[in-house]
Structure 1
Amino acid sequence: MRWLLPALSTALALVVSLLPAGAATLRHATTVSSDSVRLSDIFSGLEQGQDRILGPGPAPGGTIEVSGQQLIAIADQYGVEWEDQSASASITIMRAGRILDEAYFDALIRKNLPELGEGPISIALRDFHPLTVSTDEPEPVVLSDVKWDQRSGWFSSTVYRAHPTGDLASDSFMLTGIIHATQRVLVYTRALPAGSVISAADVRIDDSYSGHLPAKAVVNESEIDGLSVSRGVVAGAAVLAQDLQRTVVMHKGDPVMITYEAPGLRLTIAGRAMEDAGIRQQVRALNEASGMIVSGRVTDGSNIAVELSSHPVPSDPNTARRLAMSTRSTMP
């Protein structure tokens, strides 16, 4: 930069000779917030009226290294009495910068596309690179030529710096991406092979799912209780109703063990299932000893867990006979 050259004009020498000289100290590192560098950014302890603009500073987020020889030239040129002057000294001049990240451009896109509406959306930028701008610019960039195809979700625009730096590569560039409406669905937390029974640990709620849904998606964890997947699924995929099936492990009429559990108490009684059911599904069963009908949760193919707080109801005289008649034959 021209302000780093040691040349001194005759006119400037005359002005400098009139400035009071005082002992100054070199700053070994300094940060500037504007686009110019002042003498006081390099030396502290200047005399009153001695400070002045030297020239342009680095780009936002950038640095300039000033060597000892250049510092000596600057001090001589501007009449600065520099303590401990040395050709081996140096200073790093940094420019404060503000990074415009994906979150910033996400908000800017929403502001420039009012037709997006109030519903939840997902914006995925393509080949995005953060941009560093000055900290004193409230609106450092503007979007132009904004285009959005609502059918495909494809978005494109041109970004322009509000205050160009002269660097064509960063003063304007294309911003592209995909914008999709999002929705709240259940997704798988891990891959599952076909036939796997789904547990609560296998799914989670995704409040901003933006993937393609070819069929009805499941939105409530209670809807998958006791179900299994009919095909292999991958982590992150939406839970689709068409991929779920009820795996029957207990059939109507099957002999079962009814277990009542409470702190310090466990009571097991023989009974019969009154309907088909899968793992963790609620099912009714006949307590063969009391003739009462209870409701419990299937723990496996032959056991039902009943809470003591549940309310059994009487069965009619023909219930046991009908259940016995519906018991599956074990003969081939």
Structure 2
Amino acid sequence: MIIEPTIPALRRRHPAGRHGLSGGVVLRVALAVAFVCLAALPVLAGTLALRPEIAARGDVVTLGDLVEGAPEALAGTPVFRAPALGESGTIQAARILEAAARHGLRAVETRGLTQVAVRRAGRRVDVAEVEAAVKAALELRHQVDARTLGVLFDGAAPPVPAVADDAALVAEDVTFDPRTRRFTARIALRGTEGRMLARVAGQAIEMAEVQVLQRGFNRGDTLQAGDVAVERRPRASVPGDALVDGNEVAGRSARRTLAAGSILRNGDLQRPEIVARGEIVTIVYEVPGLVLTLRGRANEAGAKGDVVSVTNPQSKRTLQATVVAPGKVSVQAATPGPVAQRP
């Protein structure tokens, strides 16, 4: 429908001077007024126009989603099925115009569009979210400590369709065998009883935090704090002497060759050796009121505080000495006990 604005006739007015307005001037003024009126009419009349792209909020696309300015009475009318959650699609402009015409909207501007993009908000569900739902249900219904629990699903990761951005998953109809630690569950959306997204089965494994080497070490190499990381491993595979406190690692050296990825054990590390085997060391011999020093050879390596054997090269006598500093050991003389008196 073409809207033709009605323009009132301009009355000819003559100024006080000799000449009035010419016909050309009047015509130009009339055309200018007509142009302004025509430009304002779509705004005044509420133009119907296609939107270039929309975000569907449900399972269907409505006239109000597609047509800007659609009357409130028709805006909620469903006309197309929306894409699946998290998916996108397009609708041909011709099909939208046909659908609008069927509901009485015939003067819809296409704005030069040949199609309209439709996107439906949603997100993919990852395995961690399914695990969290299962662990929460096991803790609630079967008194299992979720903090130390790991979930191992049978086969590949459970296929769960996309869900709305604000959706929350729950595990329902959960069964659990404490002996075998096997479980089954139905994954659903919170607040939608009966709408199952997936059925899962697997085993709930008790986990433990351990210190794991991030690279390999040769015997004698010194470890730093960043050389280990805390990981969760099945408790059944963790050795009883596994190192728990990572603060005990920095500054210690490997007692033997250690492979990357291995769990650190208490016997794997030692204090750094500050006396090497065969090294010439200073032997400090202390007795009450007297301190003697002499040179000797260490027969074994040792860290600070270790007791090692050293040999006096002159007397060939072997002594047991305590490592006190790099290249230095100490020998403490035995304190004599009280002398027994004759009766």
TM-score normalized by the length of structure 2: 0.59
Greater Rg over alpha carbons, structure: 2
Larger RCO of the pair (alpha carbons < 8 Å, separation 6+) = 1
CA RMSD of aligned residues (A): 4.4
Identity of aligned residues (%): 19
Which of 39, 44, 50 is equivalent to 2:63?
39
Which of 96, 109, 114 is equivalent to 1:83?
109
Structure 1: how far apart are the matches of 2:213 and 2:277?
Answer: 31
**Contact 2:322–2:330 (8 Å) recurs in 1:** yes
**Contact 1:40–1:46 (8 Å) recurs in 2:** yes
Deviations 1:200-249 (A, max 9, x none): 368424163336124421223537934422xx543222113466689978
Question: How much does 1:29 deviate?
Answer: 0.9
Structure 1: how far apart are the matches of 2:331 and 2:216?
Answer: 45
1:58-207 correspondence runs (5 A): 58-80=83-105, 81-84=107-110, 89-114=114-139, 115-117=143-145, 119-125=147-153, 127-128=156-157, 129=159, 131-135=161-165, 137=167, 139=168, 141-150=169-178, 153-160=181-188, 162=192, 171-192=196-217, 195=219, 197=221, 199-200=223-224, 203-206=227-230
Question: How much does 1:54 deviate?
Answer: 1.4
TM-score normalized by the length of structure 1: 0.60
Tell me which residue corresponds to 1:208.
Answer: 232
The structure carrying a bigger strand percent of its residues is 1
1:42-53 correspondence runs (5 A): 42-53=66-77
Deviations 1:154-182 (A, max 9, x none): 443232453788xxxxx543324443223
Paired letter, 2:232: S
Which of 42, 57, 70 is equivalent to 2:82?
57
Unaligned runs of 5+ residues in structure 2 are: 1-44, 284-292, 313-320, 336-343
Structure 2: how far apart are the matches of 1:76 and 1:49?
Answer: 15
Paired letter, 2:208: Q
Tell me which residue corresponds to 1:237.
Answer: 262
Structure 1: how far apart are the matches of 2:234 and 2:212?
Answer: 12
**Contact 2:278–2:299 (8 Å) recurs in 1:** yes
Which of 2, 19, 29 is equivalent to 2:53?
29
Structure 1: how far apart are the matches of 2:84 and 2:98?
Answer: 24
**Contact 2:89–2:118 (8 Å) recurs in 1:** yes
Structure 2: how far apart are the matches of 1:316 and 1:297?
Answer: 19
Question: How much does 1:116 deviate?
Answer: 1.5
Matched residue pairs, number? 260
